[in-house]
Amino acid sequence: MAQQQQQPPDGAVSAEPATEHSPLLNHVHVHARANGSPRSPSADAGPPANGHGAAVKHAAPADEEQARAHGDRGFSRAQVARIISVLLIGVFVANADGSLLMATHPIIASDFNELSASSWLITSFSLAAAATQTLYGKLSDIYGRKWLVIVAYSVFALGCAIISVGQTMWQVVLGRVISGAGASGMTTLVSVLITDMLPIREVAQWRSFVNIIATTGRSVGGPLGGWLADVIGWRWSFSGQVPVIGVAIVLCAIYLPGPNSAPAASTGTAAATPTSGDNSSTPLVSRKSKFSRIDFKGSFVFALMILALLFPMELGGVTVPWSHPLIAGLFVLSAALLAVFIAVERRAPEPILPLDIFNRDASFSFLIMGLQSAAQIGLMFTVPIYFKVTASVSNTSAGAHLVPAVVANAVGGVLSGLIINRSGKYKFLVIFAVACSSCGYLLLMLTWHGHTNWFESLYIMPGGFGTGIAQSAVFISLQAVVDPAHMAPAVAFMYLSSTVWFMVGLAATNAVLQTTLRRSLLRRLLAIGLDHAAIQKIIASAISDVDFVDRMRGAARTAVISAYVDALWWSHGVPFICSVTALGIAIFLKQRRIDR
């Protein structure tokens, strides 16, 4: 028979035993975070339960201030800062790796005489990250956040090592697949850990610092990768990441607390005693094999569904035309696999992605975040092309025009965190964020017509600023309505939805650009009297090489530039439509009260 726990005296905090269900540490105390949400136990329901059914008492009112000083899970601010600082190493490297690859993938592929396959260096990473994103959330619930972080770092380092020694193009692609599988955990688990450690009001503020480091990594990675490729070779871009990740693994092993190492609460209650493997006091569910609790069937079907959804977005318009039967077939297969996945998850005792997380406001949060991600990548894709064509600037200068949006993104994230921490309000921030972004994209459509001065070039700032605010505020809106027991898979799915919509936005923007550019070029070149053969040659060169316009002269050059401006106007409409749609959804979000 299970051993009875001794009840603590009034004013103390109950210390439940830590198990694999308590991923970071035991729940020292729980605040009522959101009236009417899963985080607000009703007053007449007896002692509130934690995310896994164990009773937990609130800290007594006299201890509230002291409890707040130690975070929502008994951590001091110094401990939180130290833990997050360690995790930021992985955030920086994972984001720097992505932009580093963008700068070096033509060089890498050319080394193997496979330039036509260079896109697979990017695609393979994205597909692997998307397929494994939600798996980390559930596995960290079973095995603990600390060990899954270490596993993610180790997998990423292994991928980098394989890339640095690869002797064929497809060995390097294999390394990218492995790196992508690790990087998805490196980014996802940071946000999950922050929600474990902090009160809901402070989560946005700390996540804004993560956003700054991620933005810095993306900014530094490209120039650094190009410099390394020029000076000592592209392989050093990846082998140099391995020792950095090695240091991060050691620091994680030292500073990240395991599930049985909860700090004592500030109220003086002793920390919970660790559970042993199979003693009689352990609940039956805790004695089950951890390995057997993994939802392998759901994981496999979900990964296939994501791959079937994303493959046509990568292949369409590049490898095969969008009208090819393969594209429609893959989309149909993805829909069928979604139905299979839902059926599997409904029967799974511990689903990899609990269907309970898809309540009304959580689904709205996923959609808003995804649409903002699609809008942002549409902006980032088109801006360098616009200035490259219309102003004949260098690649470096064209890329530098993105800096205002990147800086505004970081500023928006920080301000959003501060406002939520002070006010506890997030709905008005979400609405303001997507409205601000929509105005920015509209400004581009109204003013970027080929002669853009330095002040008008700053019109990309509202888009970046709004996205930065949305990333923090939407995360809080999700946390306010999802059962804490399901927070890890919910956060993982939010990252996944951003990844999926990121690829949707990129594919849609590129498709609109290519289609409208061809039509506008044909119309304008016919108007200046060129023959069919010359027109087809110019169109083929203009759509495949953005530098082609610099080698042109006369009326043909004017026609190509005008066609690009027209096509980019239509492509700016993709982020505008995405952001306006997000605005319409944001209006229907419910504001939940979030207490300190």
**Residue 43 pLDDT:** 37
CA distance 560 to 566: 10
Residues in the chain: 596
Model confidence at 525, in pLDDT bands (50, 70, 90)? Answer: confident
Q: Is the pLDDT of residue 444 over 80?
A: yes
Percent of the chain past pLDDT 90, that is, above it, reads: 21
Q: What is the mean pLDDT of the chain?
A: 77
**Residue 499 pLDDT:** 82
Domains defined for the chain, CATH in brackets: 356-596 (1.20.1250.20)
- Residue 296 CB-density burial (10 A; 0-12 exposed, 13-18 middle, 19+ buried): exposed
**Residue 545 pLDDT:** 66
**Residue 155 pLDDT:** 95
Buried-state track 459-482, b at ≥16 Cβ within 10 A, e below 16: bbbbbbbbbbbbbbbbbbbbbbbb
CB under 8 Å to 561, separation ≥6 — which residues? Answer: 389, 390, 450, 549
Q: What residue type is 502 in one-letter code?
A: F
CA distance 476 to 420: 9
Q: Is the pLDDT of residue 133 over 50?
A: yes
Q: Is the pLDDT of residue 486 over 80?
A: yes
Reported as a single tens digit per residue, the pLDDT across 311-341 is: 887 777 667 787 888 888 999 999 999 999 9
Highest mean pLDDT among 57-66, 361-370, 547-556: 361-370
Q: Is the pLDDT of residue 158 over 90?
A: yes
User: 228 or 596: which carries more pLDDT confidence?
Assistant: 228
Model confidence at 152, in pLDDT bands (50, 70, 90)? Answer: very high
**Residue 245 pLDDT:** 93
Instruction: State whether residue 297 is helix, strand or coil.
Output: helix
Q: First CA to last CA across the chain, in angstroms?
A: 39
Model confidence at 465, in pLDDT bands (50, 70, 90)? Answer: very high
Tokens for 549?
């316009």
**Residue 259 pLDDT:** 60
Comparing C-alpha atoms, which of 293, 270, 272 is closest to residue 281? 272
Query: Which of 454-458's residues contact partners 24+ apart within 8 Å by CB, and which partners?
Result: 457/387, 457/401, 457/404, 458/404
Model confidence at 74, in pLDDT bands (50, 70, 90)? Answer: low
Q: What residue type is 276 in one-letter code?
A: S
pTM, rounded to two decimals: 0.72
Identify whether the C-beta of residue 262 lies closer than 8 Å to the C-beta of residue 74: yes
Model confidence at 595, in pLDDT bands (50, 70, 90)? Answer: low
CA distance 253 to 249: 6
Comparing C-alpha atoms, which of 425, 412, 410, 423 is closest to residue 476? 425
- How many of the other CB atoms lie within 10 Å of CB of 548? 16
Q: Is the pLDDT of residue 570 over 90?
A: yes
Model confidence at 256, in pLDDT bands (50, 70, 90)? Answer: confident
Reported as a single tens digit per residue, the pLDDT across 271-317 is: 333 333 333 344 444 545 666 777 778 888 988 888 888 888 777 76
**Residue 58 pLDDT:** 37
Q: Is the pLDDT of residue 239 over 80?
A: yes
Work out the average pLDDT over 340-350. 88
**Residue 10 pLDDT:** 40
Percent of the chain past pLDDT 70, that is, above it, reads: 79
Q: To 10 degrees, what angle do helices 461-479 and 487-527 make?
A: 150
Highest mean pLDDT among 22-26, 120-124, 508-512: 508-512
User: 340 or 68: which carries more pLDDT confidence?
Assistant: 340
Q: Is the pLDDT of residue 594 over 60?
A: yes
Q: Is the pLDDT of residue 268 over 60?
A: no
Least confident piece of the model among 251-260, 380-389, 441-450, 515-524 = 251-260
- How many of the other CB atoms lie within 10 Å of CB of 77? 12
Work out the average pLDDT over 22-49. 39
Work out the average pLDDT over 505-511. 84
CA distance 187 to 388: 32
User: 206 or 54: which carries more pLDDT confidence?
Assistant: 206
CA distance 495 to 137: 11
Instruction: State whether residue 316 is helix, strand or coil.
Output: strand
CA distance 401 to 270: 55
- Residue 309 CB-density burial (10 A; 0-12 exposed, 13-18 middle, 19+ buried): buried
DSSP label at residue 365: H
